[in-house]
Amino acid sequence: MSIDELAPKCGEWLKGSGPESDIVISSRIRLARNLADFPFIRKCSDTDRIEIENTLHKAVAKIDSWQERVEYVDVSDLSELDRQFLMERQLISREHSEGSGARSVAIDSSEQFSLMINEEDHLRIQVMQSGFDLHTSYDFIDQIDNLIEQNVNFAFHARLGYLTACPTNVGTGMRVSVMLHLPALVMTREIDRVLRSMTKINLAVRGLYGEGSQAMGDFYQISNQVTLGRSERDLIDQISEVVPVIIEYERNARAFLKQESRNELNDKVKRALGILNSAESISSEETMHLLSSVRMGVNLGILDNVQIPTINKLFIHTQPAHLQKLHGMELSSADRNAARAQHLRRSLQN
């Protein structure tokens, strides 16, 4: 498996097959871990980074069950385009993409998990599942954590728990997040009220690509902010209690729009599909906005000739790096807009 081979495919988490997948795109759990014998990344020398990378590479290589399913990629050797591609795919973070020195990522062939080496911490393990499925995600990431810990010694304090570069991650080192598609709350202008209530209970709200990103396409990531003093189950339970409430708000908003603004809703959805089916040039931002309306229209039964997995895939495949990888060349902004429109027409008409 190479990065070029990944480009036309679709990760397991984008297939729209999990629980509550009309609203919840994916569930993700991330663990931050550091090796006991080395300083934190920001205090590491270039030699330290190389030794950390070698140590974790060997640890991954010792896991027999991963030999046929995990690809090890040297991020420091990748082009800017390939790094952006992996970031768009949610397999590495922006910080990992834009970092320096020895760093790598191990990628599961179905993209259910990836292991970022030398990001903010020595190791970031992440698992992604389609739909609202945090308990399955936790069981899976716990297995991965145990497999790696058989081969390395993580920095752990008897009272504080796992030691991490950022104090808010100390303890379990776990970040639990759920990506939601909330177009109806945006349309009814209820989204700000809902998001403010999240921050009041110490939950972080971010965009499609995590910290520092905008909520393009009406996508919002809800996650815990602090792990110290909380067990893994506490963190999962907190998100598991909040997300169903947001799902209910979104469903109520969709029902309201169907009942009170049916003509406006139908026009918005069908106009969005019409533009996507006929545009000769279109930006990434406009595409995300229009695909969001189409996705809601499919889930509400307004459109019946488009499949949710197709829409989910287009959210990723129309991003700049993906378009260029699919075309096999670097493209200017104008050429990307034309290529994006062509790709949309071909995918939707098929």
- Mean pLDDT of the region 36-51: 96
At 102, phi and psi to the nearest 5? -65, 125
SS3 state at 4: helix
Q: Quick one: pLDDT band at residue 226, thresholds 50, 70, 90?
A: confident
Q: Is the pLDDT score of 178 beyond 70? A: yes
Q: Quick one: pLDDT band at residue 165, thresholds 50, 70, 90?
A: very high
SS3 state at 91: coil
Tell me the percentage of the chain whose pLDDT exceeds 70: 97
pLDDT score for 213: 45
pLDDT score for 212: 45
**Which of 16-30, 62-76, 154-168, 200-214 is predicted least confidently?**
200-214
pLDDT score for 208: 66
- Mean pLDDT of the region 120-138: 96
Q: Is the pLDDT score of 199 beyond 60? A: yes
Per-residue 3-state assignment (H helix, E strand, C coil) for 218-282: HEEEEEECCCCCCCHHHHHHHHHHHHHHHHHHHHHHHHHHHHHCHHHHHHHHHHHHHHHHHCCCC
Nearest in space to 130 (alpha carbons), one of 238, 20, 206, 216 = 20
In degrees to the nearest 10, what's the CA dihedral of 243, 199, 172, 240? -10
Question: Is 269 exposed, middle or buried, given 0-12, 13-18 or 19+ CB atoms closer than 10 A?
Answer: buried
Structural domain spans, the chain? 3-252, 261-349
Tens digit of pLDDT for each residue in 311-328? 999 999 999 999 999 998
pLDDT score for 1: 60
Q: Across the chain, what does the average pLDDT equal?
A: 92
Q: What angle do CA 296, 137, 202 make, to 5 degrees?
A: 75
Q: Is the pLDDT score of 349 beyond 60? A: yes
- Mean pLDDT of the region 113-135: 96
- In 62-178, alpha helices (H): 80-88, 94-98, 134-149
CATH number of this structure's domain 3-252: 3.30.590.10
What letters, b where the CB count within 10 A reaches 16 and e where it falls short, cover 80-118?
A: eebbbbbbbbbbbbbbbbebeebbbbbbbbebbbbbbbb
Q: By the 8 A CB rule, do 109 and 71 touch?
A: yes
Q: By the 8 A CB rule, do 267 and 320 touch?
A: no
- Mean pLDDT of the region 273-290: 96
- In the chain, alpha helices (H): 3-6, 46-61, 80-88, 94-98, 134-149, 183-187, 191-200, 232-260, 262-278, 284-299, 308-317, 320-327, 333-349
**CA atoms of 8 and 191, how far apart (whole Å):** 33
